[in-house]
Structure 1
Amino acid sequence: MKSISPARLLASTAAALLLCGAGTASAAPLADATVAFLMPDQSSTRYEEHDHPGFVAEMKKLCPSCKVLYQNADGDASRQQQQFNSVVSQGAKAIVLDPVDSTSAASLVKQAQSRGIKVIAYDRPIPSTPADFYVSFDNEAIGKSIATSLVEHLKAMKVATADDGLLEVNGSPTDAAAGLIKKGMHAGIGTGSYATLAEYDTPEWAPAKAQQWVAGQISRFQKKIVGVVAANDGTAGGAIAAFKAAGVDPVPPVTGNDATIAGLQLIIAGDQYNTISKPSEIVAAAAADVVAALLQGEAPKADQTLFGTPSKLFVPTLITAENLKAEIVDKMIDGKPIEPASVLCTGRYVEGCKKLGITP
């Protein structure tokens, strides 16, 4: 029997709850509707490879006659404003919005709602103006999980704490989700006795900027750096590249988030310590379910309220080398592995895969 993640089961249950009671009369507003899916950047491959396809697939199940408009702002808030205006002019009845800038996105929410357009905040919340709904993984829990995992690892390795400490590489300062991850990271670091030597909010989540900052800290602190709490796999990759460029061997343990192919391969190679598996298809499908419910006049089922917005937050899964095979290669979503061994175990990662018992 193919295994299905608990989060996917939750998403399926949510779909049933969202759509129950929506009879043929209430289904009319959904038929032939135009909906928009606006993503923030391309610094992570997840939006093109997982979020967008996952949303489209679920919308096709719920409404074969609906039209999905997809745009990616590539980290530019002004471009996202233009894309937003474009989908409004094309008649979008609902907009799933993952904002480049969580603060400026408030005006987009107000603009849409004044026209009767439903706005679903996606992945990143919009704190100052409540959207109609918010769907995401629990970002604060993500930050705490990766940081606590690193602290426990350092304790187990009996790493000294007298003059040593951690670097903290946060996400974009314009991203409210990054702020939640940062809050969780602080809490996780606080579970141990390791000092934070320095921390940095990475503009646009750009790996190159994270690499540049970490390179400067290596020159400043040298061997005092015993670990790096990085907020996602992109910034983790930048940090690891900085250590390698500086000739640091071994690279101190580095956290991550998103379970990107690159991040998973760095774990396989032993260069990155952990990441977070949060299959984007899960939240994308849940967002489509919310769109369908709202357009049919239904109230989507929320499990909490965040920033005044009814919200559904899924539970993330921590990944290290110990459970990567079970949670990434062997675990199935819709009959497919989260990432197949044939994709992960290529080139220089083949030997690392063998050590973890992963075979293409």
Structure 2
Amino acid sequence: MDKPHRIRRRERRRRRAVPAALAAAGLALTAGLTACGNAAEVREPGTRVARDGRSIGLLLPDNTDRFDTFDRPLIERRIAELCRECRVEFASAQADVATQQQQVDAMITKGVRVLVLDAVDSRSLRSSVERAREAGIEVVAYDRLVEGPVSAYVSFDGEQVGRLQGEALLRALGDDARGGQIVMMNGAATDPNSASFKKGALAPLRGKVTIGKAYDTAEWRPVNAHINMSGAIASLGADNIDGVYSANDGLAAGVVSALKSAGIRPLPPVTGQDAELAGIQRIVAGDQYMSVYKPFRLEARAAAEMAVALVRGQAPNRVATGTVDSPTTRDIPSVLLTPIAVTAADIEDTVIADGMYTVEQICVPKFAADCERAGLTP
């Protein structure tokens, strides 16, 4: 166990419980839709698209830093490299299912040949995927496996993500894991990735720690994680939470804000995922123990290559490394990439070495002293 976390845990147990604060954090997603370009020819939904079409739709679930900074530009750039005649039609759903359903219909109307879809809700988008397929559109499921007749799937090994998180949390607890109590802040129940993360995390955690409270966090919203965590603190007591399994960095933000609002010092170890800039900065500051780095360049590259292959009438198998099954479709050609755990000791060799962030981006004045302690200097 890391010495600072051992000391903090003992200090936390020596002092009295701090009354839980239930104020919700004012965390919100950026508003505003990204407009799609005008198609040369407009078709009504349900009609078959032109087999020689070169338009690719890209529908992402929200405008978080990850999708705006990495996934979208990486996918668009790789498509442009592979297919000069291809055009990308983009829209963001702003984490709203109905909006994304309308966007799928708009892509059908525009006559896109292939749709790269990261579904807000994998079940609710099934009928949209079916309509797209009826119109002759090939669908590449991106990052999460949407239900319906998809042609290909690209993501990371979800169970391995969860295992990395669970194992890291046990390392942070060290000898105190035995008899320790944690809170599990899982992702949205409507996302199949959440089930994979949870299954992977429970493999090392089960039998080693007590799970005092577990939540499925609606819509992956940080504010919901804050509310859930505040409830856990009120129920379990501030001194009786030794660690928090948080499924991603967004939820970790909500968890940490709830812990701080309750006056809990020092903070217990908290996990995360996606290696968001804010998450990496929380790790440097000691507010979050770890994240999971998923090299988005590889994921975006595979999705772009599958989309271009399908545009050209080729099977995605030339890109796929295996197959997966969804609740509705079997043997989907897939690429499942390997995630990487990141703690303060790993930042320089992972996200900085891969060019995801620079030291200057991480070590803004607010975190300058923390960066110096962590050995991160420009």
> Is the TM value for this pair above 0.5?
yes
SS of 1:281's equivalent in the other structure is: helix
Q: Give the structure 2 partner of residue 265 of structure 1.
A: 281
Q: Give the structure 2 partner of residue 85 of structure 1.
A: 105
1:150 aligns with 2:173: no
Which stretch shows the higher mean deviation, 146-155 or 223-232? Answer: 146-155
TM-score scaled by structure 2? 0.82
Aligned residues: CA RMSD:
1.6
Identical aligned residues as a percent:
36
Could you tell me which of 49, 56, 59 is aligned with 1:35? 56
Could you tell me which of 345, 352, 355 is aligned with 2:363? 345
Query: Structure 1 residue runs of 4+, over 6 Å off?
Result: 29-32
Q: Do 2:177 and 2:208's aligned partners in 1 also have CA atoms closer than 8 Å?
A: no
AA of the residue aligned to 1:344:
I
Matches of 2:232 and 2:152, distance apart in 1: 40
Q: How many residues align?
A: 321
1:70 aligns with 2:86: no
Q: Give the structure 1 partner of residue 137 of structure 2.
A: 117
Could you tell me which of 242, 250, 253 is aligned with 2:258? 242
Unaligned runs of 5+ in 2: 1-49
Q: Do 2:169 and 2:269's aligned partners in 1 also have CA atoms closer than 8 Å?
A: yes
Residue 33 and residue 215 in structure 1: after superposition, are their counterparts in 2 closer, same or farther (change >3 A)? same
SS of 2:113's equivalent in the other structure is: strand
How far does residue 179 in structure 1 lie from its aligned partner after superposition? 1.9
How far does residue 205 in structure 1 lie from its aligned partner after superposition? 0.6
How far does residue 355 in structure 1 lie from its aligned partner after superposition? 1.8
Q: Give the structure 2 partner of residue 18 of structure 1.
A: none
Q: Give the structure 2 partner of residue 252 of structure 1.
A: 268
Q: Give the structure 1 partner of residue 3 of structure 2.
A: none
How far does residue 49 in structure 1 lie from its aligned partner after superposition? 1.0
Could you tell me which of 51, 63, 68 is aligned with 1:48? 68
How far does residue 62 in structure 1 lie from its aligned partner after superposition? 0.8
Q: Give the structure 2 partner of residue 210 of structure 1.
A: 225
SS of 2:344's equivalent in the other structure is: coil
Matches of 1:69 and 1:145, distance apart in 2: 35
Q: Deviations over 1:238-296 (max 9, x none)?
A: 11111111111110000000000000000000110110111323211211100111222
AA of the residue aligned to 2:222:
P
Could you tell me which of 231, 236, 240 is aligned with 1:221? 236
Unaligned runs of 5+ in 1: 1-28
Matches of 2:201 and 2:51, distance apart in 1: 41
Q: Deviations over 1:146-174 (max 9, x none)?
A: 1111112212xx22633x31100011111
Q: Give the structure 2 partner of residue 24 of structure 1.
A: none
Matches of 1:258 and 1:214, distance apart in 2: 20
Q: Do 1:30 and 1:63's aligned partners in 2 also have CA atoms closer than 8 Å?
A: no
Matches of 1:184 and 1:107, distance apart in 2: 29
Q: Do 2:282 and 2:288's aligned partners in 1 also have CA atoms closer than 8 Å?
A: yes
AA of the residue aligned to 1:206:
R
SS of 2:244's equivalent in the other structure is: strand
1:108 aligns with 2:124: no
Q: Do 1:32 and 1:65's aligned partners in 2 also have CA atoms closer than 8 Å?
A: no
Matches of 2:269 and 2:204, distance apart in 1: 15
Which stretch shows the higher mean deviation, 114-123 or 173-182? Answer: 173-182
Q: Do 1:232 and 1:255's aligned partners in 2 also have CA atoms closer than 8 Å?
A: yes
SS of 1:283's equivalent in the other structure is: helix
